[in-house]
Each structure stands twice: as C-alpha cells, then as structure tokens.
C-alpha cells in the first residue's frame, strides 16, 4: 500500500513514523513534510491547502491511501477532490470537518445528538457576549468560532479579558466552565461506526503549573493510570456514535479521526470540544504504543469498513511527549535558530525526536515555527517514560528554547485547574522568568 501524509507538523511526523513501521505499507510519501519526516518518507513540495495539486500528486504517485493531518486543509475541503478522483482518504469532507471549523456548528450537532457538553451561547456582538458572560458566570470560557490553531480559547476569571477576546473575534461561543481533569480521546471513524484509541492527556498552557497563555499543546502522555476504567466504551456510546448518526442524518458522514476533548466532571464525562483530526501532541504517545498496523486501520476506515480489521493492539507501559518551543511562543515565534543535539538520540530505541517546526538552512537544522520539536519516550510506566523524555530534552538545545518541566508529573486537572482558579497576574509574572530561562534543571 502506498500512502501519502498531508501536513508539516509533529502529528504528521508521528503518523509517518507509524506508517513506516507497518509491513503492509510499501511507500510513505509526505506533502510537504519536514526534515524529520524526510527520514522515513519521500517529500513533495505541494501546498496542503491546494486540493487540485494534492489530488494530482496522489494520482501521479499511484497512492492507495491519503491521510490528511491538519485541520485547515480538511476544513478547506482538500479531501473532496481526492475522493472524487477515486482515492481513499482518511479525513472528513469539508462539510463534515465543520465539526472543528465552526464551534457553533459543533455545538448544534451535539445538541441535536444529545451529547453531554457545556451549556453555551453563540455571540456575534459585544452586547451578546457581555450578557452570555453574566449568564454563564466565572470562570469565563470564550472560544473563537473559527479555526485558531489551538489558541482561540480564553479561560479566565477576568471579565474584561473575556470581553476583549470576544471583541477580537468575528463570532464566539461562550460556555460554562467544566471542572475536572481533561482527557483527549481519538475515535477512528468510517462514517458509520468507530473504534476508540486509548486516551491521552494534553498540557495546553505555556508555563509550568498551567500558567500563561493557551498553546497548541506543550506535552502529553498515555495511558492515564488515574482515569476511571472503561471511559472509551462509554464515550463511544454516548458521544461518538450519536454524533456519527447525526452527521449521517445531515448528509455529511464523518470519516477520519473524531477528536473528543473531554472534562471528567463530577457528573460524568462532558465534551469540551470536537476536532476533525488527530491531536498534536496528544496523538504522539498513543501512536508510540500502538503495535498493530496503522495503515491497515486507517485504510479500513477510509473504505467505510472498520469491521474488516481487528481492533488495534497497544503495548504495555507508557509514553510521554515533551514539546520544545521557540522564544516568544505562543504570541510569536523565533525562526532560523540552529538546533543541536538531535543526532545524539538517533540510536535510542525508546526515544524519538518528533519534528514540528523545523527546516534545513545552510546544512543546519533550524527552527521554523512556534512548537519546534518534541521528545517522545516509551517506558515501563509513566515515571520511566517521563525520565527518558526529559533526558532527551536535556541533550537538545537552540537559542531561546522553552519547555514545561511538569509534563505527566500529575493529572492535568490538578495542575491546570488550580492555576486557573488560584493564580494572579503577579504570580504568573514572577514565574515567567524562572520557566523561560534556557537551563538544564529538570524538575
């Protein structure tokens, strides 16, 4: 089977790595890819947002399966011309990708499907936003309705900050705050049915203790030894299957990964958000533990026939991923900084360097984005995997590098929830200087 991975980031590197280990995959191609993906795939300089160009590439290469990684091409409809050309695509149509492309649409689907989620209001004016904030109360949760690369959400106890974020967006969804640890669950969907992968947990805020701005994700781990047993089956029954049924009723069957962001509240799991693709970096530890063929699973979903393949198999143990970001992230990013030390991990069997925002310049590996790379490790348990990941981080450096030192240290709900409710601007300011220093002290 010839495969083509669309995208440039860490998620796509993790997918390409897993596909390269699948004995049923004869070729791995990527468009446009990155320097890390180049080690396991043939790269093609094609714009992932250009559906016609992607389709021409897939046809020319005789590709059997296209996996679209990022949300932006999916929402733009890159999967549609591929399917029209008769190519199997793992990723939803433009119509189905609106589950991520519009949070208002997603909430409407959840309501129609009876999915447990936060109460919310869709607001298009400052007056509507102010009324919704007063109705739903603090902590305030304000989400840009459109795509925002994981950074369009503000959760705050400061009403003025919440109003300012609402005013900066064309339309927002304001929600009640869901208290409880957050969990990422990925459902592989064939349009009618789904298979759940093991849950992971993602650390969204930039600084230790859940302080600072929201990011696309600064680290993750899987499995979750503290989580209640059987959440995947429950979520399939109460969230995923009703959503698939509702999307079919609307004439937009969902094929691909339905990312379910959950809050494990005192009243049970409730959906925070849907995404229409694998998460980044929370997919990385999940795929690290997968021992069954990824290509076979995704191809069956793309064909609409998940029942034709056995359930995926995962190794014992645990995996932890820690992200290294560039100076200024998430507000800005530094590009062109030379990265050293990645080669020292090339021979490690339990550690991978996952490239996200990297490039080659004058023979050097350099930064090319906000989240530059991640170190992913496998261990006998969370503590072992975490130690290996941070050992890997200590061997890599580039100017201004920043990373969190508390990934997988304890359940995210404890760390991030406490920070939201207890931190102040003064606490955050006093912490920034300690955390952003480029040092080698691993907590």
Domain at 366, CATH number: 3.90.600.10
End-of-domain residue from the set 90, 113, 137: 90
Question: Which residue is associated with the tokens 């907590």?
Answer: 443
Q: Is residue 113 part of a domain?
A: no
pLDDT at 181: 87
CA distances from 266 to 156, 215, 273 (A): 21, 26, 18
Q: Is residue 95 part of a domain?
A: no
Give the Cα separation of 263 and 268 in Å (integer).
8
Same domain, 397 and 425: yes
Same domain, 191 and 259: yes
Q: Which residues make Cβ contacts (< 8 Å) with residue 328, sequence separation at least 6?
A: 334, 370, 400
Q: Which residues make Cβ contacts (< 8 Å) with residue 119, sequence separation at least 6?
A: 136, 175, 176
Same domain, 304 and 243: yes
Same domain, 275 and 240: yes
Q: Is residue 247 part of a domain?
A: yes
Q: Which one, of 100, 185, 180, lies nearest residue 139 by Cα?
A: 180
CA 87 to chain centre: 25
Same domain, 278 and 361: no
Domain range holding 83?
Answer: 2-90
pLDDT single digits (tens) 17-36: 999 999 999 999 999 999 99
End-of-domain residue from the set 278, 308, 338: 308
Give the Cα separation of 420 and 314 in Å (integer).
34
Q: Which residues make Cβ contacts (< 8 Å) with residue 125, sequence separation at least 6?
A: none
pLDDT at 149: 63
pLDDT single digits (tens) 135-188: 999 999 999 988 876 557 888 999 999 999 999 999 999 999 998 888 999 999
**Residue 293 pLDDT greater than 70, yes or no:** yes
Q: Is residue 100 part of a domain?
A: no
Same domain, 325 and 429: yes
CB 198 within 8 A of CB 183: no
pLDDT at 228: 76
Q: What are 154's strand-pairing partners?
A: 142
CB 94 within 8 A of CB 75: yes
Task: Count the helices and strands in the chain (H runs, E runs).
Answer: 15, 22
Same domain, 304 and 188: yes
pLDDT at 421: 38
Q: What is the CATH number of the domain that holds 149?
A: 3.30.1490.20
pLDDT at 411: 59
pLDDT single digits (tens) 201-219: 999 999 999 899 889 899 9
Q: Is residue 443 part of a domain?
A: no
Go through 196-209 and write b for each residue having 16 or more CB atoms within 10 A of its CB, e for each that does not: bbbbbbbbbbbbbb
Q: Is residue 360 part of a domain?
A: yes
**Residue 271 pLDDT greater than 70, yes or no:** yes
Provide the pLDDT confidence category of residue 427 given band limits of 50, 70 and 90: very low
End-of-domain residue from the set 286, 308, 330: 308
pLDDT single digits (tens) 323-332: 999 999 999 9
pLDDT over 90, % of the chain: 82
- Reply yes or no: is the peptide bond before residue 223 cis, omega within 30 of 0: yes
pLDDT at 437: 28
Which two three-digit tokens encode residue 157? Answer: 């106890």
Q: Is residue 102 part of a domain?
A: no
CA distances from 391 to 366, 373, 380, 443 (A): 21, 15, 16, 11
Q: Is residue 139 part of a domain?
A: yes
**Residue 431 pLDDT greater than 60, yes or no:** no
Which whole number is the average pLDDT over 368-373?
Answer: 96
CB 258 within 8 A of CB 214: no
pLDDT at 150: 58
pLDDT at 138: 93
Per 3-state DSSP, the chain is made up of helix, strand and coil in percentages (nearest 5) of 35, 25, 40
pLDDT at 154: 87
Which whole number is the average pLDDT over 89-108?
Answer: 96
Which two three-digit tokens encode residue 339? Answer: 């990265």
Q: Which of 38-52, 91-105, 229-243 has the lowest mean pLDDT?
A: 229-243
CB 28 within 8 A of CB 42: yes
Q: Which residues make Cβ contacts (< 8 Å) with residue 412, sequence separation at least 6?
A: 181, 182, 201, 202, 203, 210
**DSSP-derived 3-state class of residue 355:** strand
**Residue 378 pLDDT greater than 50, yes or no:** yes
Same domain, 219 and 149: no
Same domain, 148 and 193: no
Q: What is the CATH number of the domain that holds 196?
A: 3.30.470.20
Higher per-residue confidence, 339 vs 442: 339
pLDDT at 373: 98
Per-chain mean pLDDT for the chain: 90
The domain total for the chain is 4
Same domain, 330 and 386: yes
pLDDT at 226: 87
Pairing type for strands 201-202 and 219-222 reads: antiparallel
CB 222 within 8 A of CB 183: no
Q: Which phi and psi angles does 27 have, rounded to 5°?
A: -140, 140
Same domain, 156 and 207: no
Same domain, 243 and 339: no
CB 336 within 8 A of CB 180: no
User: Which strands, in side-by-side order, build the sheet including 65-68?
Assistant: 42-43, 27-32, 2-7, 65-68, 88-90
């Amino acid at each position: 089977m010839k495969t083509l991975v669309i995208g440039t980031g860490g998620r796509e590197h993790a997918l390409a790595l897993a596909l390269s280990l699948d004995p049923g995959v004869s070729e791995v191609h990527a468009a446009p890819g990155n320097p890390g993906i180049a080690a396991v795939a043939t790269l093609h300089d094609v714009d992932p947002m250009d559906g016609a160009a992607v389709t021409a590439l897939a046809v020319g290469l005789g590709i059997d399966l296209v996996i679209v990684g990022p949300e932006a091409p999916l929402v733009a409809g890159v999967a549609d011309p591929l399917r029209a050309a008769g190519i199997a695509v793992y990723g939803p149509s433009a119509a189905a990708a609106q589950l991520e492309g519009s949070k208002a649409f997603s909430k409407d689907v959840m309501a129609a499907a009876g999915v447990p989620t936060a109460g919310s209001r869709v607001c298009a004016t400052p007056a509507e936003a102010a009324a919704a904030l007063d109705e739903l109360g603090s902590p305030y949760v304000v989400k840009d309705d459109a795509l925002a690369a994981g950074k369009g959400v503000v959760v705050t106890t400061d009403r003025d900050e919440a109003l300012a974020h609402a005013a900066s967006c064309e339309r927002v969804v304001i929600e009640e705050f869901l208290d409880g640890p957050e969990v990422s669950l990925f459902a592989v969907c064939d349009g009618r049915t789904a298979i759940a992968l093991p849950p992971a947990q993602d650390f969204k805020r930039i600084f230790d203790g859940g302080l600072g701005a929201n990011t696309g994700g600064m680290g993750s781990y899987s499995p979750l030894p503290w989580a209640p047993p059987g959440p995947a089956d429950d979520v399939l029954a109460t969230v995923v299957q009703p959503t698939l049924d509702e999307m079919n009723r609307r004439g937009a069957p969902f094929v691909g990964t339905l990312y379910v962001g959950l809050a494990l509240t005192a009243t049970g799991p409730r959906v925070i958000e849907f995404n229409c693709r694998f998460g980044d970096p929370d997919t990385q530890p999940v795929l690290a533990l997968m021992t069954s063929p990824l290509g076979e699973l995704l191809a069956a979903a793309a064909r609409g026939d998940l029942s034709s393949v056995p359930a995926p198999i995962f190794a014992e143990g645990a995996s932890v991923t820690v992200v290294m970001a560039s100076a200024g992230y998430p507000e800005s990013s530094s590009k062109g900084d030379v990265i050293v030390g990645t080669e020292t991990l090339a021979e490690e069997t339990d550690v991978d360097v996952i490239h996200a925002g990297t490039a080659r310049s004058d023979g050097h590996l350099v930064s090319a984005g906000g989240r530059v790379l991640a170190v992913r490790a496998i261990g006998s348990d969370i503590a072992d995997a975490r130690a290996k990941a941070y050992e890997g981080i200590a061997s890599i450096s580039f100017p201004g590098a920043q990373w969190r030192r508390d990934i997988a240290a304890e359940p995210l709900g404890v760390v991030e929830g406490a920070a939201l409710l207890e931190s102040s601007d003064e606490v955050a300011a006093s912490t920034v200087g300690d955390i952003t220093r480029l040092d080698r002290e691993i907590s």
